[in-house]
Structure 1
Amino acid sequence: MSSESLQPAPALCRRTLLAGLGAAGIAAALTACGGSDDSSSGSSDTSSGSDASSGSAGGAALAKTTDIPEGGGKVFADEGVVVTQPAAGEFKAFSTVCPHQKQRVNSVDNGLITCPAHGSQFSVTDGGVKKGPATSGLTAAKITVTGDSITLA
């Protein structure tokens, strides 16, 4: 009887194992996305969401360049990315996860990416905070622009 009362210990071990597996999956995804491929883009690796010269990428095409309005952008909710075109022919991408409380941004208007949960707004140029309550910007995502096709890298 007393050995049956010790059942909670395996549940704790399962939780620890699952948490560890989740962390390993996140680490693998971050390694794949932010890996050690050549990141010799312009001035900043984290704010440049695109690299038009990086060749072929393994992802499926998100959109045509003509689908992304200049000075604006488009949210791809299923892919968890927002693609912007701050200036003609310049494309950036950011995670849709708002750093404030992990809600998802859902619109791009007038040069701003907006989170509907608490009204945080971010720049289409670099994902930086334009209006809080968020205190940090959106995380850059990698895209590849080849011809008129935008692909998630």
Structure 2
Amino acid sequence: MGEKKAVSRRTVVAGVGVLTATATLVACSSYEDDESSDTATTEAATTGAAATTGAAATTGAATTGAATTPAGTALGSSSTIPVGGGTIYKTQKVVVTQPTAGTYKGFSAVCTHQGCTVGTVTNGEIICTCHDSHFSATDGSVISGPAKTALPSETVQVSDGTVYLT
């Protein structure tokens, strides 16, 4: 038979590098669900139905005038957001709270401590269950750490009973 050629160390190392990079890319890729609003809703200490109005509400105060369909992503029904609580939209990485009846606030659902998605909203607090950081459902500020930075605000509107991320 023919002579066998020796494979250089450089060729072996390069081959291992390509295999490692491929395996890393496959392992780090994420699978996205088809559902547009994968939600985790938690009960508030105060129970009751969410107020729904024809007027649009934003991250600050309610706007007056006729309701129009805002540009943006429809998240779901405002009735799923309890007063004093909130709903986490995992796919969009946003949490929408209703600190008081008819006032809706939007925040990033990504914890500022180590990037986990927050897990619950209860008793006026957004809680990251990874390391137990607590944030205010009213303004996103840190109530207790280890997180040291507030959750960034997201702009949300409510129009005809639907919550929009705008």
TM superposition score category, shorter chain reference: 0.5 to 0.7
What is the percent sequence identity of the aligned residues? 42
- Give the whole-Å Cα distance in 2 for the aligned partners of 1:130 and 1:144: 25
Q: Which residue matches 2:81?
A: 68
Q: Which residue matches 1:19?
A: none
Q: Which residue matches 2:145?
A: 132
* Greater radius of gyration (CA): 2
- Give the whole-Å Cα distance in 2 for the aligned partners of 1:51 and 1:88: 12
- Structure (1 or 2) with the greater helix fraction: 1
**Residues 59 and 103 in structure 2, CA contact (< 8 A), matched pair in contact too:** no
Deviations 1:101-150 (A, max 9, x none): 11111211111111111100101100111111111110000111112111
- Give the whole-Å Cα distance in 2 for the aligned partners of 1:131 and 1:147: 36
CA positional deviation for 1:65: 1.6
**Residues 68 and 83 in structure 1, CA contact (< 8 A), matched pair in contact too:** yes
Paired residue secondary structure (2:115): coil
- Give the whole-Å Cα distance in 1 for the aligned partners of 2:114 and 2:130: 8
Q: Does 1:101 align with 2:114?
A: yes
Aligned residue type for 1:129: V
Q: Which residue matches 2:157?
A: 144
User: Which blocks of at least 5 consecutive residues in structure 1 are unaligned?
Assistant: 1-47
Paired residue secondary structure (1:49): coil
Cα distance, 1:77–1:140 mapped onto 2, change above 3 Å: same
**Residues 51 and 145 in structure 1, CA contact (< 8 A), matched pair in contact too:** no
Structure-1-length-normalised TM-score: 0.64
Aligned residues: 109
Structure-2-length-normalised TM-score: 0.59
Q: Which residue matches 2:59?
A: 49
- Give the whole-Å Cα distance in 2 for the aligned partners of 1:133 and 1:55: 41
Q: Does 1:81 align with 2:94?
A: yes
